[in-house]
Amino acid sequence: MTGRFAGRRVLVTGGGSGIGAACCRGFAADGAVVTVLDRDGHRAAAVASEVGGRSVCADVRDADAITAAVRDAAEAMGGLTDLVNNAGTGMAKPLLSYTDKEWALLIGVNLTGTFHGIRAAGPIMLAAGGGSIVNNASLTGLRPTRGEGPYSAAKAGVLNLTQTAALELAPTVRVNAVAPGMVHTPLTDVVVANEGWRRAAESGTPLGRVGAAEEVAEVILFLASDAASYVTGQTIVVDGGSVLPSLQSDGLLRAFSNRPPGNVE
């Protein structure tokens, strides 16, 4: 099979839906052999069937399960050249109301799960002489969001972990990350389905809309591709420009533009 990923063997965690599923489709369409890992075995199997790949049911919080899943996927595919750590989960509530169980879930899936993937895949790629890892972080890892304290902290950890892994696995393995803003996935269905909430998100985005999972997947595919062969330890923000406005200066300028005519003294 031809394509920019011909001969590549890819594992995508959280590949049963959203950005992960879009990655699986993109890699497969461009020549790669793909393994879809998801804690929902039915979703993983559906996407794997669609892309002509294989599926694995596992929870990224389970270190032994992920180590075994990555090893078995590499054996079944005849190698492992690329890993996309995409599995994630989230919730929103005031910081002081989070329970220990909720904290453990958010840190466990989003941060510890990413570590488990890197630790399992890194030795295989190093032994093979090359590879690429792309971690799905979040814009909230760079800019905190009210109500998402544990999630934001976990994603900030993913960004630092990405840089550490890039340093320690270089020059053999490249490690990068993406930081999506508001993107339509199953996690954000509730926002997109509510017209008022969706419009509020769109009004704060210079491109004027919520992003699509495929748009983030395309950036992930770029980072995995040979076109990014001199890129490692980097985070690409995919947010439609939503972090560009400054709440402080924009508020000031709005107030200034509404002033009565005349000179400012």
> Reduced to 3 DSSP states, what percent helix, strand and coil does the chain have, rounded to the nearest 5?
50, 15, 35
CB burial class (10 A; 0-12, 13-18, 19+) of residue 185? buried
Q: Which of 151, 156, 162, 165 is catalytic?
A: 151
3-state secondary structure of 25: helix
Which residues have a Cβ under 8 Å from the Cβ of 136 and sit 6 or more positions away? 14, 19, 20, 84, 85, 86, 88, 158, 177, 178, 180, 216, 220
Nearest CA-CA partner of 30 in 48, 59, 6: 6
Catalytic residue status for 151? yes
Catalytic residues: 151
